[in-house]
Amino acid sequence: MLLSKRGGDIKAHLFARPSFLSGVARLVDVLGTLNEYNSAPNGNLADFYATRADWKAVGDDMWEALRQFNYEAIQKADRATQQCLGLF
Q: d(Cα 51, Cα 49) in Å, to the nearest integer?
A: 6
The residues, any chain, with a CB within 8 Å of residue 18's CB and separated by 6 or more, are: 26, 34, 36
- Mind listing the pLDDT tens digit for each residue in 8-66? 555 555 666 667 877 777 777 777 777 777 778 898 998 999 999 999 999 999 999 99
Rounded to 5°, angle at Cα 63 from 62 and 69:
90
Cα separation, 75 vs 80, whole angstroms: 9
Question: For 67-87, how does the pLDDT look when each residue is reduced to its tens digit (9 = 90+)?
Answer: 999 999 999 999 989 888 887
pLDDT at 70: 94
pLDDT at 3 over 60: no
Instruction: Tell me the pTM.
Output: 0.52
Task: DSSP for 5-37, please give it.
Answer: TTTEETTTTTB----HHHHHHHTS-TT-TT--B
